[in-house]
Amino acid sequence: MRAGPSNAVMQDRLKASQGNAPQPVRANPAPWAAQNRSVRFEPVSRGALFQDGAAVEDVVQGQNGSRYLGDCWLLSALAAIANTQPKVLEDAITDHGDGTYTVRLHKQDTRGLMSSEDVRVEGTLPRTADGQDAYAQRSDPTEMWVGIIEKAFASWKGGYGTLDGGIPSDALTALTGQSSETVFMKGADSGELSSSMQEAASAQRPMVAASRADLSLKKGGIVPGHGHTILNVNEEGGTTYITLRDPFAMYEPSGNDAQDGVFKLTLEEFQHRFQYASWTTGDAASTGR
């Protein structure tokens, strides 16, 4: 089990934040239009930012009936960072001790320069009229970090509706402050691809992938046009395997044992079923802060 930031670290962050002009607390972001009549923001009973540190299993995309917010691009990136560099996520959030939290997010411009912005939000999270989490789901009802980061993103971008579709590599950059590399599967040399992906996995770089939009969920078990986390890339008996996770934590091809959204494909299968893969380069661009 991984512990979250220590009390000493949290106190240091709080002192540092108090040394600067305090960020204003942003108003709750507008709910996604498809649910805006039923969503309300509520405090989390006995809530804590982290219970045992940031973990992949903490990240579950919301699915309420036939409607769900399409922020797989963000949640697959969150799970990828939790899988490889959980401390990045733990350090990205400051708990002010007054029911508000600040999340540091980053944006890279066309010149490759990185700027960061601190987004301070209340610790209330969106719930539906029947008491479900409206967007990201909490596997532990008292753990808040996924919902707080999702809320900060919504505030940063202009409402939860702005999260309905996006590019996973943008989320990697926003959360880590690092540039990313994207490789499209069509026409990619399998040998070079295998080498690049194994190198990224060995270096513990967060990795994500987007499935092809023309897949059939019913026939193949993979959600089409959907962001996934790459959990591992390894070679067995001369064959490269990609282990992936669906952020709904439920969809996967048949024959993958537990229905937890985790499944393994050969590199050849991966190239046929996925459009592209992205990972951080490990290079932090120059920042304006």
Q: Return left, alpha or beta for 193; rule: phi > 0 is left, psi -120 to 50 is alpha, else beta.
A: alpha
Q: Which of 178, 154, 152 is nearest to 278 (CA)?
A: 178
Per-residue pLDDT tens, the chain, 289 aa: give them: 344 454 444 444 444 444 456 689 999 999 998 766 689 999 999 999 999 999 999 999 987 654 689 999 999 999 999 999 999 999 999 999 999 999 999 998 888 888 999 999 999 999 988 888 999 999 899 999 999 999 999 999 999 999 999 999 999 999 999 999 999 999 999 999 999 999 999 999 999 999 999 999 989 999 999 999 999 999 999 999 999 999 999 999 987 777 899 999 999 999 999 999 999 997 544 444 4
CA 246, CA 226: separation in Å to the nearest integer? 8
Q: What pLDDT, on the 0 to 100 scale, is given for residue 289?
A: 41
66-117 pLDDT, tens digit each: 468 999 999 999 999 999 999 999 999 999 999 999 999 999 888 888 899 9
Please, what is the end-to-end C-alpha distance for the chain in angstroms? Answer: 34
Q: What pLDDT, on the 0 to 100 scale, is given for residue 283?
A: 58
Q: What pLDDT, on the 0 to 100 scale, is given for residue 215?
A: 95
Give 100's contacts (C-beta < 8 A, 6+ positions apart).
25, 120, 121, 122, 123
CA 44, CA 49: separation in Å to the nearest integer? 10
Domain ranges of the chain: 7-176, 179-284
Report whether 266 contacts 239 (CB < 8 A).
Answer: yes
DSSP conformation letters of 187-204: T--HHHHHHHHHHHHHTT
pTM, full prediction: 0.89
Give 147's contacts (C-beta < 8 A, 6+ positions apart).
44, 125, 126, 133, 135, 136, 138
Q: Which of 241, 208, 252, 203 is nearest to 227 (CA)?
A: 208
Q: Which amino acid is at 42?
A: E
Fold classified for 179-284: Cathepsin B; Chain A (3.90.70)
